[in-house]
Structure 1
């Protein structure tokens, strides 16, 4: 069973000064336009196409994604991130899916102000 985190839970983690590794799999222009930031957030951009290649057993693991830490995967709505989470989980990464993706994050941040 895949682990998930809601936007509210992620916000609370960040507010509690917990270290978070966030892997954003959206296109580079979308990532540059907006991504989740914070003093305790290590934001990593890895296009989903790079992760999809890992479905091939011959491919090497991605050095950009830490294998020894929990990583939270996100995309625009969560669909692509879910596919990426499955691939990374199969390769023994400790993966958590941000439910609803960046869309849910923005909605939560707008509603909590």
Structure 2
């Protein structure tokens, strides 16, 4: 397996400040997602909990994501996002992991 691409909070902010819309896959539980997630006019935020990605046979919510579209995966600290990104990468998705997850994002945005 190739090393997963990573994107820093700074690079992520620069990307969404540019012209490009970003597809952000948040793999935290629905409750955590509902409490806080990245919102921006340039961000299309999807919440598919990691348990769904770990057990893909439970129903394929990934069908809504094109494999042609670049996807940034995030969670609280980056660990679950990295595991999910590895699975998605293996399925042919173009994935990047937000370094440090939402914890690093919030810290950067202070």
TM score, norm. by length of structure 1: 0.88
Partner of 1:3: 5
Partner of 1:77: 77
Partner of 1:46: 48
Superposition RMSD in Å: 1.5
Is the 1:44–1:64 contact (alpha carbons within 8 Å) kept by the matching residues of 2? Answer: no
Q: How far apart are residue 8 of structure 1 and its match?
A: 0.6
CA distance in structure 2 between the aligned counterparts of 1:48 and 1:69, rounded to whole angstroms? 19
Partner of 2:22: 20
Q: How far apart are residue 60 of structure 1 and its match?
A: 5.4
Is the 1:4–1:98 contact (alpha carbons within 8 Å) kept by the matching residues of 2? Answer: yes
Q: How far apart are residue 65 of structure 1 and its match?
A: 2.8
Matches within 5 A, 1:26-37: 26-37=28-39
Matches within 5 A, 1:96-111: 96-110=96-110
Residues 51/32 of structure 1: CA separation in 2 closer, same or farther (3 Å cut): same
SS in structure 1 of the partner of residue 63 of structure 2: coil
Is the 1:46–1:64 contact (alpha carbons within 8 Å) kept by the matching residues of 2? Answer: no
Q: How far apart are residue 18 of structure 1 and its match?
A: 1.6
Residues 86/93 of structure 1: CA separation in 2 closer, same or farther (3 Å cut): same
CA distance in structure 1 between the aligned counterparts of 2:80 and 2:14, rounded to whole angstroms? 24
Q: How far apart are residue 61 of structure 1 and its match?
A: 7.2
What is the number of equivalent residue pairs in this alignment?
Answer: 107
CA distance in structure 1 between the aligned counterparts of 2:53 and 2:64, rounded to whole angstroms? 11
